[in-house]
Structure 1
Amino acid sequence: MTYAVLSAVLLLVAAAVAAASARRPRFAHRMACSAAAAAVLCILTAVFDNLMIAADLYRYPAEHLSGWRIGLAPLEDFAYPICVAFLVPSVWVLTERRAA
């Protein structure tokens, strides 16, 4: 399995869970905050992944990558912070108890 396929599956799961939380209060606000958090996390990922790859702390097998990069960081690395930014708040809202 390639990193692109794994990233696509994770993004689809995050999108499905976020969509499932659409009927909960303040959905638009939550999604706007998640988008802002995703942007910050992607910037941090770009900076620190590039530093770690440049320091040769880890490598990716080329045959599992799409070939697209932001600096030295493969594009697939950016799916994880995006998933976290949308998935965590959505799961939180879906699992919290509603006020009586």
Structure 2
Amino acid sequence: MSYAALAGLFLLAPLLALVLAAMLRRPDRRWWASTAVTVLALVALTIGVDSLMIAVDLFRFAEEDLLGIRIGLAPVEDLAWPVAAGVLLPSLWLLLTPKEEG
């Protein structure tokens, strides 16, 4: 299985949670903005840390399983994990927090 296929499968649950949260709870602009900033920060940190770890040869990816697109030294497939975390956790928080009356 390629890294892209694995990343795609891994993103299904977070994206489903995001769609459910958007449909059921109708988050405001502030929620969307804070979620976007969180995802961007996690992606930026992942690019930096992964690039550093790859540069010092702490780990390697099987090149035949990659799409070939890199940001820094990090393969684009590796960015699925911070995107998933940055989308899933705020979505679950929104879904599991009781609605305010009023």
- Output the TM-score relative to the length of structure 1: 0.87
How many angstroms does 1:25 deviate by?
Answer: 5.2
The corresponding residue for 1:18 is 18
The corresponding residue for 2:61 is 60
Number of paired residues?
100
CA RMSD of aligned residues (A): 1.7
Residues 1:69 and 2:85 aligned together? no
Q: Give the secondary structure class of the aligned counterpart of 1:60.
A: coil
Alignment partners' CA distance in 2, 1:27 and 1:14: 19
- Output the TM-score relative to the length of structure 2: 0.85
Unaligned runs of 5+ in 1: none
| Deviant stretches of 4+, over 4 Å | none
The corresponding residue for 1:50 is 51
Superposed CA deviations along residues 22-74 of structure 1, whole A, max 9, x for unmatched, are: 12153443222111111111111111100000011111111211111112110
Alignment partners' CA distance in 2, 1:40 and 1:98: 28
90-99 vs 46-55, which moves further: 90-99
Structure-2 change in CA distance of 1:10 and 1:30 (3 Å): farther
The corresponding residue for 2:36 is 35
Residues 1:4 and 2:4 aligned together? yes
Unaligned runs of 5+ in 2: none
**Sequence identity of aligned pairs in percent?**
39
